[in-house]
Structure 1
């Protein structure tokens, strides 16, 4: 009976792996198509204004603007997919980079859903959970954005100044909730991340004052501490 049980378990694991492989194949297909479409649509209007209507500003300001923006964001272009992939997975990465709002919508919704059902990032369960959570968050976001797009200016005009000034705290509150959620699991790592973020925000030059520098530093230090603890336990 024990052998039959183990055999059934191995068969189930193999079938799950095959199903996940098929899911990833579909994710690659349907993830790439809309992203390419969005990229083409995004450059259509600038090309139309530049070469059809005749509003091309010249290559010098375009190149200068690109280089100025790249100086700030180039690190993010390289690191964002790598840093977010363990939490989002293959399908979640496609969805997140298609919908945007990764740091203030996709990642928090994925992390909250994984935490709610006990799914570990980097697992099959974690990837499916993240994808479903971001899909739901995107639908809710669209449902809220559509009326706001048409009535947003009016709503903002009637809001008191005291309420309007509170909007600048929304994004820090989201990041604070994420830090608190994960810091409860590993308080030491949470304290290290907060300390590094404060040091970067206060002492680092402006070029390094972005989210990726404290992210990389925190990951490196926490991995080093974890390896030291593991080696001590092993010895």
Structure 2
């Protein structure tokens, strides 16, 4: 476990240096720097959106992925739409639970394989982007591309809701109510504040599960 944290921390530091260092080297070499005011304005606007999402993802996804899978997933990215579904399905098929050593190993393997598959798909897509451009930009297929994530998580949600129906009641109702409140009452773009809603719904799910367990409505066999 100590070796995993050591390697993970070094990998994160190395990737951070590469991501920040590349534009810095280019700016220094060509003596081209963005205006400080414009840079700070753009940075703050992005931070207001992505910082809450990053914090929520850390507290939500690390217990699922374990240490090795978390380091690898946060370095390679695509957590919500690729790494988490891959890890969850892999653990379910292997019959292991998140938060265990077995679950951490399976999650790490699934994240690594999904990363390699992503690289292969991106490489093929790079070669085929021009021949497939008319098809990919077709207005007929636009609704399908816009609903890839809802379809993916809808399928995953239906699978786990059917296995843990009692646990799913409060989180599902809370999600529907919050979505209706945000969209129809507050008139906000739901995707723009999803990073704030993730920890809220996480707390609601945990508290409701503990309450139902204490009053005896949910038993140990319901969550295994």
What is residue 150 of structure 2 aligned with on the other side? 172
Structure-1 residue corresponding to 2:108: 131
Q: In structure 2, what is the Cα distance between the partners aligned to 1:193 and 1:111?
A: 22
State whether residues 87 and 121 of structure 1, in contact with CA within 8 Å, keep that contact through their aligned partners in structure 2. Answer: yes
What does residue 220 of structure 2 align with? none
Q: Which has the larger radius of gyration?
A: 1
CA 1:170 to 1:69, structure 2 compared with 1: closer, same or farther past 3 Å? same
Measured after TM superposition, the shift of residue 205 of structure 1 is 6.4
- Structure number with greater CO (CA < 8 Å, separation at least 6) is 2
Task: Structure 1: state its 5+ residue gaps.
Answer: 1-23
Query: Given the two structures, how large is their TM-score scaled by the length of structure 2?
Result: 0.83
Give the aligned partner of residue 18 of structure 1.
none
| Paired residue total | 211
From the superposition, tell whether residues 166 and 175 of structure 1 become closer, same or farther in structure 2 (CA, over 3 Å).
same
The CA RMSD over aligned residues, in Å, is 2.3
| Length-normalised TM-score, structure 1 | 0.80
CA distance in 1, matches of 2:14, 2:212: 48
Match of 1:215 in 2: 198
* DSSP 3-state at the match of 1:57: coil
- Asked if 1:65 is matched to 2:42, the reply is yes
**Which whole-Å CA distance do the structure 1 matches of 2:33 and 2:69 have between them?**
37
Runs (5+) with no aligned partner, structure 2: 218-224
SS at the partner of 2:33? coil
Name the residue aligned to 2:169.
188
Matches within 5 A, 1:1-150: 24-150=1-127
Equivalence for 2:180:
199
Separation in 1, partners of 2:96, 2:84: 14
**1:199 offset after TM fit, Å?**
3.0
